[in-house]
């Protein structure tokens, strides 16, 4: 499976940890930046990952910024993106099962590396349940 990952400066260190983790699990990872802890604007990386997902370059995306909110808002501006801000594995599971989320967003300043890894594992292993949830998903895009 191929994934795109991105963060601003606040999420850089977590992103680096997660890239190593994903590669150890044999995922192909496309790093969309940022590449240091120097100040960077989260929309740039939210848009880059969302474009990779909508363009079919990757199956799923992973994003992070300090709170997760800003980068989540940027990604969700893209038609067809359903980015979900998750801070524990239960929410990550529901994001896939009920919302067919295609980007996992993590709050880098408020989540441990261990919990972030749990969120990723669940997010990438769960499937969309469809059914009544499919009708709701159709109502999201404007």
Active-site option among 47, 78, 86, 98: 98
Is 9 in the active site? no
Per-residue tokens: 27: 């995922």
65 classed as catalytic: yes
Residue 46 to residue 136: CA distance in whole angstroms:
24
- The one catalytic residue in 47, 65, 78, 119 is 65
Could you tell me if 46 and 21 are in contact, meaning their C-beta atoms sit under 8 angstroms apart? no
Sheet holding 28-31, edge to edge: 28-31, 2-7, 60-65, 103-107, 83-85
* Residues forming the active site: 65, 98
């Amino acid at each position: 499976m191929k994934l795109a990952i991105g963060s601003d400066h606040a999420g850089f260190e977590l992103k680096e940890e997660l890239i190593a983790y994903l590669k150890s699990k044999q995922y192909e990872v496309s790093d969309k930046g940022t590449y240091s802890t120097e100040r960077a604007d989260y929309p740039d990386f939210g848009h880059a990952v969302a474009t990779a997902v909508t363009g079919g370059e990757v199956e799923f995306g992973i994003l992070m910024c300090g709170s997760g909110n800003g980068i989540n808002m940027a990604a969700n501006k893209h038609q067809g993106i359903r980015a979900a801000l998750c801070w524990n594995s239960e929410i990550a599971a529901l994001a896939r099962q009920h919302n067919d989320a295609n980007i996992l967003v993590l709050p880098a300043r408020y989540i441990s590396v261990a919990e972030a890894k749990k969120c990723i594992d669940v997010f990438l292993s769960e499937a969309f349940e469809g059914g009544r949830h499919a009708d709701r998903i159709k109502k999201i895009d404007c």
